[in-house]
Amino acid sequence: GAVVSQHPSRVICKSGTSVKIECRSLDFQATTMFWYRQFPKKSLMLMATSNEGSKATYEQGVEKDKFLINHASLTLSTLTVTSAHPEDSSFYICSASPPSGSKNEQFFGPGTRLTVL
Amino acid sequence: DAKTTQPPSMDCAEGRAANLPCNHSTISGNEYVYWYRQIHSQGPQYIIHGLKNNETNEMASLIITEDRKSSTLILPHATLRDTAVYYCIVRAHQGGKLIFGQGTELSVKP
């Protein structure tokens, strides 16, 4: 299947700093990527839909100024957690769909574990 | 997108079939049933999807009832590596977003 990568796999930062997470589709072009967050023992929560060349669409309750999303190319979307605080510590996961996939399934990255001290 | 209901946890003996149920009584005519699983601390993995016919691939089988209000994912010979949280998701085929419920935590035991 198609491969989606994330970088970094884990990051520890101090409170108040900003952290950037990259999501790449390695062997296909993705006009749309999705960002999720997951707390321990909880399900994935969709944060936003990232559209190449346009503004992201955020889910209700997700602060767009806090979680900046940029989808500058067909293979790269970035999520920047600005002025991170301990409550932003979470597992962040991205996904993407190949545009011509007959199954229309989404492929997920391995996730990035963010710890804010 | 329609809501799904799954048991929070299930156990299965290694080598036996694992049958994971999912209720989706409010599913509409253009919505498909998708199954994903998430092994601890990894990203979710696609398993299978279907509309109304039963489906089978190298990983699993999907049985959808005639009224489409429920479905069952079958892992024919469960292994320890199948221990994961399994998510049943209903969405329109071109719907884009996947909305995850709580899933079923499957534990395969020796």
| pLDDT tens readout for residues A72-99 | 888 999 999 999 999 999 999 999 987 7
* Residue with the larger pLDDT of the pair B93 and A70: A70
pLDDT attached to residue B87: 97
Tell me if residue B57 falls in helix, strand or coil: coil
pLDDT attached to residue A103: 59
pLDDT attached to residue A31: 82
pLDDT at A101 over 60: no
pLDDT tens per residue, range A46-60: 999 988 888 899 999
pLDDT tens per residue, range B14-59: 999 999 999 999 998 889 999 999 999 899 999 999 999 899 999 9
pLDDT attached to residue A30: 86
Pair B53, A103: CB distance under 8 Å: no
Pair A94, A77: CB distance under 8 Å: yes
Looking at residues B90-108, what average pLDDT do you find? 86
Say which residues have a Cβ less than 8 Å from residue A45's Cβ, sequence separation at least 6: A36, A37, A38, A59, B100
Q: What is the dihedral of CA A54, A35, A107, A112, to 10 degrees?
A: 130
**In terms of CA atoms, which chain A residue is nearest residue B39?**
A110
Q: Across chain A, what does the average pLDDT equal? A: 91
CB contact under 8 A, A93 and B96: no
pLDDT at A100 over 80: no
**Chain CA centroid to CA A56, Å:** 11
pLDDT at A34 over 80: yes
- Chain B residues closer than 8 Å to A1 by CB: 46
Instruction: Establish if B101 touches chain A: CB-CB under 8 angstroms.
Output: yes
Question: What residue has token string 């292994």?
Answer: B79
CB atoms near residue A105 (< 10 Å): 20
Among partner residues A46, A105, A110, which is closest to B43 by beta-carbon distance? A110
pLDDT at A102 over 70: no
Indicate the length of chain B as a whole number: 110
CB contact under 8 A, A49 and B101: no
Of the residues A25, A44, A114, the best mutation for testing chain B's interface (the one with the most B CB atoms within 10 Å of its CB) is A44
pLDDT at A61 over 60: yes
pLDDT at B1 over 70: no
Distance between CA atoms of residues B103 and B84, nearest Å = 10
pLDDT at B85 over 80: yes
Instruction: Enumerate the β-bridge partners of residue A94.
Output: A35
